[in-house]
Amino acid sequence: MDDAEKYRRSIGFWRCSTMVMGIACVGLAVAFIATVVIKNKELEESAGSALPCPSQDGGLLTSGDPSEPSPFHDLTIAEYRRLHEFLAKQTDINLAPADTAAVNTSNIFIVDLLIPAKQQVLSFLDNQGTQPAREARVMVFRGDKPTPVVEEYKVGPLNDPAYATLIQNPQRRNPVQFTVRPVGALEFGTVHKNIMSLVDQEVGDILQASYGGTLTECGDTCLTYYPTPVGSGLTGDIDTRTIWFWGNYPAEYYSLYPLDFGVCVDLTSSDFSQWRVTKVWYSGTIYDSLQDLKTRYHSDPATSKTRVDYVHNSKKLKTTQSLRGDPAPETPKRPPVQVEPDGKRYSIQHRHVTYMHWDFDIRLSALTGPQAYDIRYHGDRIAYELGLSEIAVFYSGDNPVQRVTDFIDSGALIGTHSKSLIPGADCPEGATFLNVSFLGEGMGEPTTLERATCVFEQNTGIPLRRHLSYSREQGAFYGGMADSVLVVRSILTIVNYDYIMDFVFHQSGAIEMRAVSTGYILSTFYRPEEAPYGFRLDEHINGNVHHHMFHFKADLDIGGTSNRYETLDISEEEVQLRQISPTATYRQTKFDRNPRVTETDAVYKFNFDTPKYHIVHNEQKKTQYDVPRAFRIHIDGMSKQLLTQGMDNERTIPWARQQLAVTVHSDHELVSSSPYAMFDSRDPVTNFTNFISDQSIVDKDLVFWVTMGVHHIPHTEDLPVTPTVGGHLSFFLLPYNYFPECPSVSSRDNIRVEYVTPNTPADGLKVERNGNKENGACGALTLEQLVRQRPDDILQTNNEFKLL
């Protein structure tokens, strides 16, 4: 048996009839059993038992780490350990032990899976080739070097590491300047020990008088702080590292308790003894140093001073999510829950998911978050890769901290922020929960984040399709089905914001990629000067305007890797209205096929005046009527990035300039951004503009880069936490002449109601459920009971009010 065959068997490529495993069930009450993977062992958690659980024929079939991981599987615990042991022996890398790691030593910042070259993977998956060697991308902070740098290594093979070589990529430099490294725990801890103690030493009395607390050795009246990187596009010098640390109260939640105090710190050197405070913000004024603030505060009566009471953490604070107000409903009643009456209809083997006619692999990248690979419908590959590439949030304000707050989140290690998904709130109680492991800064062993991803089937509560034919002349029937979908969810809690990321697989052959924002706003201390940038939401809270932006990568393989991209451009035309008179005219819409030839030609910026469809197809794969079998890209949730192109920190998010870009696949263009983007805007390590050229995109392996976003001007209803309503952003991959009909016609979920004898109501109705049992909710008639008791309530062909 070759490697490819072993892999296909391991993921259930041939669906075995003997796969049976009880994994999760949901009763109409609160009963549930949820299975999670913790440190490679299954753990069942159960609470209550109101109804018996049905027998299961799906769910998490194979848990824990596989002995032979697929090309897409995240690093296993064993692989992390072998990698770390190997790197620790490499004298040229000079890793410091975890317990002695510091800013001025050599340290692993993060380890992530390095996906093999696409053609190697396809040869393995499709042509029984050898599985490519599994390798890791390892970011190492080399604070130990005379000229400190960040180095990225390719380490492999992971089953028995034998090499660690610097990654060579023509699209991005390596090594990278030490000054643009992401903010890490070692640096943050060193700042607290050395800088914040200095701040307290110099102006601790001012902090105590102004805010009722200090930063260090503060007992139960501590102040906290958070870093805001300053992009080199603002400072003009990529060889200098600058971070503002702004003050807060450590109450629930600290981003709603800002102080009008912050310090700007030069952290350029790997020698922390050279770090220094370069600016201070206090009470509406910028000072050149701590000494400058101290001197003017005590000697100049005109100096603006702040006096606010210390905020102690308490559930009584109106910024908490504790219950308050008039409880609803008046009598406690549990919310609706979903029921899986016959068990799960999906299965998971390690990280390979099978649902109806769908099957695909999922992973959680440490750097870029949720990803899906080798997405197939009925065995046909629709997408080789689909997932998040970057998140950015750009703020505005009058104060110097908010004014430079431009977060690009891959530097915060996006995937490591999905964990602790809560059954009954974040995911249904009956969802299957998956863990993920990471190895990062200051860690001698990999750590496991529990409940990092959940998988569940969901009845969306809306029909996927339906039609009711009222009259006997039109057939007198009903046909329809609920839109039950499979959802793969991660929720990324990146500091104050929570981003819900969903892959949604529909029975119509459509895929939805959804991003929803919630969490706490990042507020500023209220001052009248902040009025152009946000509303005053509370005594000391100003909710400043900001722009959320999301970038996604969709490597589509429609009918193979030879694809074309065209738009169907919708326009108005004036035509003769011959039925009226020879000279009468009429205006209507039409469309023209517009094949896009180059990457530059394919850049799309939304314009209401030029509506269009975005179509991807293989020119050699057509219907019997010579129509391309295609998929359509439909984008909801678009927003315009308003900042001037090429100025300030905009240079680090050029992917946000358009809503869609199309490029020829390159193994060197894995993601559109980099973890250095918060600092490198003077000279971006990864510059998305370099992905786009005049290269032909006709009959090529194409990658589609989708941008979504939303401008957010906070309001009082965003307190305490921003609700998700109105914040759903999605793009869809929709079959477009790809199937001869909607593939959901093969779903047993379809319900049809018709007369037993056509056009003879007296003979009664029959219900077709395609082998499924009838469903019923507590206290409600089932459809079958309704048909027997009140048949004319269904089709209503005898109703006196006749409808066409």
Q: Which residues are catalytic?
A: 409, 497
Q: What are phi and psi of 92, to 5 degrees?
A: -75, -20
Look up residue 193 and give its DSSP letter. I
User: Crossing angle for the helix pair 118-127 and 3-10, nearest 10 degrees?
Assistant: 80
Contact 440, 452 (CB under 8 A): no
Q: In whole angstroms, give the CA distance from residue 86 to residue 64.
A: 23
Look up residue 268 and give its DSSP letter. -
Nearest to 488 by CA among 364, 606, 579: 364
Chain-centre distance for alpha carbon 647: 27
Q: Which amino acid is at 687?
A: N
Q: In whole angstroms, give the CA distance from residue 234 to residue 243.
A: 12
Q: Which amino acid is at 755?
A: Y
Cβ-in-10-Å burial (0-12, 13-18, 19+) of 267 comes to buried
Q: What are phi and psi of 138, to 5 degrees?
A: -120, 120
How many residues belong to the chain? 804
Q: In whole angstroms, give the CA distance from residue 801 to residue 29.
A: 41
595 dihedral zone (left: phi>0; alpha: psi -120 to 50; beta): beta
Cβ atoms < 10 Å from Cβ of 178: 21
Cβ-in-10-Å burial (0-12, 13-18, 19+) of 17 comes to exposed
Specify the 3-state DSSP secondary structure of 125: helix
Q: In whole angstroms, give the CA distance from residue 442 to residue 189.
A: 12
637 dihedral zone (left: phi>0; alpha: psi -120 to 50; beta): left
C-alpha pair distances (Å), 18 with each of 61, 158, 724, 748, 751: 11, 33, 41, 21, 28
E-strand stretches of 642-782 = 660-664, 702-712, 728-736, 751-755, 765-768
